[in-house]
Chain A
Amino acid sequence: MSTDAIIITGLFKTQKETLTAIEKIQANGWEVTEVHSPIPSQDIARALDRKKSRVGWFTLTGGIIGFVSGFALAVFTATRWNLIVSGKPILSWIPFFVIAFECTILFAVLGNVLGILTQVGLPDPDYEKNYSAACSGELYGIEVASPPADVDSLKDLLHLTGSLNQLRKTK
């Protein structure tokens, strides 16, 4: 994408219209850089050819760390004070399992949150770029990049496909 490309954002009312518009835009050679939607949509993700989410790996890693840490914590603290308490062995796996389980969930969730934040890209101070407030409410916004020369034909195409409103922002 050239550095002086202009981003036009078209706003659409329903997901169906959005999908047909994306098809038409891509068929005409323009690149859809982003779509803002009020609700998630697998179809839009597929139309934009987005890769599968990697958040799960963060969660799994967190879970494994948690499982090991839970046992490690329990084993470490038990071995500091080698007294038999109520007849149970110093290293008893059955109660320690509860600690390990809770820590697994805790660290998996922390991993999950880290994954969400990093993969979703939050906090995002620049969110307002090419963004319309209506996209959080009820409209779908399609961002299309185009070299400055083709901007008018792009605007026409967007209008043709049912776009209600158009914003023009330089990249």
Chain B
Amino acid sequence: MDTALKKPSASLTKNVLFIPALIAGAGFACFIFFAATAHPEKAWLAYLTNFLFFTALSAGGLLFSTLMHFTKARWSHGLAAVAEAFAAFFPVSFVLFLLLFIGQGHVFPWMGQDLHGKGVWLNVPFLCIRDGIAFLILYFFGFAYLYNSLKIRLKNAGKETRLKHFLLGLFERNPHDPERIRRRMTVLAGWYMFAFALVFALTGFDLVMSMDPHWYSTLFGAYTFIKAIYAGFGAIILLAALVHLNPHTQFTLSSDRLRDMSTLFFGFSIVWGDFFYSQFVVIWYGNIPEETAYIIERTMTAPWRGLAWTVFIACFILPFIILLSRKIKESPWCMIIVSSCVLAGLWIEHFLLLGPCFLDPDPGHLPIGIRDLIITIGFLALLIFFLLFYFKEFPECLENTSEREVQWK
């Protein structure tokens, strides 16, 4: 998955949204064609992988802002503004979640199987309702937090667009002093993070782990949300670095801030590695066939073995070694490459966990094909569309805020 994007310059204004929209449309069309072939589960696998990956990424992105606000960190004000843009993907993500059930026969391999009592939990109506409510709660807290955050950021904004008109109107009708808004944000940030952990644990169990209904791992839920945070932080670095390098935006990222963010990212690569190893060592060592079958298929048999090693190298080995260097952590170009590499690895990891449940074993061929790539690029274009939309609507977020921001030393 190639994430070295060619961003159109912002002077195209209205046209800037056209290209991602077009690509997203192409991806969608490809998906429809793919789903209409003899192997619709391959199309749905690509859909599910992308849905999970981009949802995790966007929720993890907003988590950065909530985390920094909740812990009263002072170094991240500008980055938090960029992080909040990822909330623009939430409504799309919810629609995509609902659309997932169109292909329910193909998305859930356990349908029709004898689940030995798990049917109480693993049935489509219950799963749809509980996960739907979970996402709604998460997005509710996310938007409530964002609403209050924008109240502060858009203090001096003009009502140029309809959305802004509506939003600023709401702000005017409910004025509050900044201190009260910040206290509210702290409470909402806490609820968002709590919901984030529970929702991603739940959806990790429901939409990934249960695809192989006879396997289970208690750490899987926590592993899912750690992945989401890791992906979110990588996406923030990628986005912030790209916006910084774009000459048409005011936004600048000082090397200190980038280094701090990259250090946090480095820390999370170790956390991800630790969670991965914790699952792996326990299952490997216990050597119980009920548990090891899942791991063996994904890490020790072809064709999945190659993907597993790619994931491990891209998500842990490379970032660990490369991010030891201070200079690399401060360079936007280097961080673009490193975070793209990690995000690609995490995408492959999502695919790897789901793939063997959907596809028949075929040692000779790489399971990821051109059609998967096109659908992925389509989803990516969808994300970019909404990010650009957010920045077009709220260019104030990309201003250099001088208050509370420590500039160049």
**Could you list which residues of chain A lie within 8 angstroms of chain B, going by C-beta atoms?**
86-88, 94-95, 97-98
Contact = CB atoms under 8 A, between A and B. Distances in A.
Contacts of B281: 94-95, 98
Nearest to B324: A60
A105 to B, nearest CB: 12
Contact of A87 (B277, B280, B287): B287
A95 B287 contact: no
Contacts of A98: 281
Nearest to B280: A94
B326 to A, nearest CB: 10
Contacts of B280: 94
Interface string B212-254: 0000000000000000000000000000000000000000000
A77 to B, nearest CB: 18
Nearest to A101: B277
B408 interface: no
B390 interface: no
Query: Which range holds the interface residue count of chain B?
Result: under 10
Contacts of A94: 280-281, 284-285
Interface in B57-77: none
Interface of B: 277, 280-281, 284-285, 287
A86 B288 CA distance: 12
Contacts of B284: 94
A64 B277 CA distance: 21
A95 B285 CA distance: 8
Contacts of A88: 285, 287
Nearest to A97: B277
Nearest to B277: A97
A165 B286 CA distance: 70
A82 to B, nearest CB: 20
Given A97-B277, A98-B281, 10 more contacts: A86-B287, A87-B287, A88-B285, A88-B287, A94-B280, A94-B281, A94-B284, A94-B285, A95-B281, A95-B285
A88 B280 CA distance: 15
A157 B399 CA distance: 47
Contacts of B287: 86-88
Nearest to B326: A56
Nearest to B281: A94
A17 B125 CA distance: 72
B271 to A, nearest CB: 15
12 contacts: A86-B287, A87-B287, A88-B285, A88-B287, A94-B280, A94-B281, A94-B284, A94-B285, A95-B281, A95-B285, A97-B277, A98-B281
Contacts of B285: 88, 94-95
Nearest to B284: A94
Nearest to B287: A87
B403 to A, nearest CB: 24
A107 B178 CA distance: 50
B273 to A, nearest CB: 11
A98 B287 CA distance: 18
A13 to B, nearest CB: 25
A88 B287 CA distance: 9
A87 B285 CA distance: 9
A112 B275 CA distance: 27
Nearest to A42: B409
Contacts of A97: 277
A92 to B, nearest CB: 8
CB-CB nearest 9 A-B residue pairs: A94-B284, A94-B281, A87-B287, A95-B285, A94-B280, A95-B281, A94-B285, A97-B277, A88-B285
A125 B284 CA distance: 55
Contacts of A87: 287
